[in-house]
Amino acid sequence: MTDSAHKTDGEAGAGARELLLQTASDIMREGDIVDISLSELSLRSGLNSALVKYYFGNKAGLMRALLDRDMADIVTSVDALMAKDMAPDARLRRHIGAMVDTFFKTPYLNRLLMRLVRESDDEEAQRIANAYLMPLHRAYDRLIKDGVKQGVFRNVNPQLFYFTATGAADRFFSARLVLKHCFDTDTLTDELREAYREHCIDFIMAGILAHQ
């Protein structure tokens, strides 16, 4: 490691790695982008950009670590939700709301995931799929089967449902330019989040609930 990569007194805290990740997240959220410049990362975080190499190897490693941080939280929350004693429709409503909240907080996340799967070698792409996509697919498969068995849900394809639900929750918060040019706003407010959360829950549930 070169002298420039050694941590200064201000950089030596245990939270430097986490600060780099959070700053990268903030930059992408505010800019509606799926990339960062190391110079802006350094300026915003107050840390030497050489620490990216120290902690992550390179910028691509930083992006992978950010994906791992954010997606691990999603998988953990889905596992916790599936462990609760809840009716399938109540469980799904809560999950849809949580998805909308996640993409409000990290609107870049689904685009980052797709980018890393596309640009990674086969081994890394498979790791991402195994760690984050397959657990979600298994949760949807179980949730839908439970709902069908209880007469609550129609028998829909869980794989297709994943793309429908994720796409609906993600799309709104990754379309800031549409909001800006069509609706004269590009600010992701709590009011927009709450309105879109209820909208998504109503529309998605209407599509899967069994007809009474």
Tokens representing residue 108 in the block: 């870049």
- Measured from the Cβ of residue 185, the count of other Cβ atoms closer than 10 Å reads 11
Residue 179 binned pLDDT confidence (cut-offs 50, 70, 90): low
144 vs 207: CA distance, rounded Å: 12
Can you give the length of the chain in residues?
Answer: 212
* Distance set, CA 178 to CA 2, 32, 57, 75, 80 (Å): 45, 12, 36, 30, 35
| pLDDT exceeds 60 at position 124 | yes
Stretch 130-156: mean pLDDT, rounded?
A: 95
Tens of pLDDT, residues 12-31: 455 999 999 999 999 999 88
45 vs 89: CA distance, rounded Å: 42
Tens of pLDDT, residues 78-105: 999 999 999 999 999 999 999 999 998 9
- Which CATH homologous superfamily contains domain 63-208? Tetracycline Repressor, domain 2 (1.10.357.10)
Domain ranges of the chain: 1-57, 63-208
Among candidate residues 14, 121, 4, 5, the one with its CA nearest the CA of residue 64: 121
How confident is the model at residue 4, as a pLDDT? Answer: 43
Determine the number of helices (DSSP H) and then strands (DSSP E) in the chain.
Answer: 11, 0
Lowest mean pLDDT across 15-29, 106-120, 152-166, 169-183? 169-183
53 vs 138: CA distance, rounded Å: 36
* Distance set, CA 119 to CA 56, 60, 79, 134 (Å): 17, 10, 28, 19
Residue 135 binned pLDDT confidence (cut-offs 50, 70, 90): very high
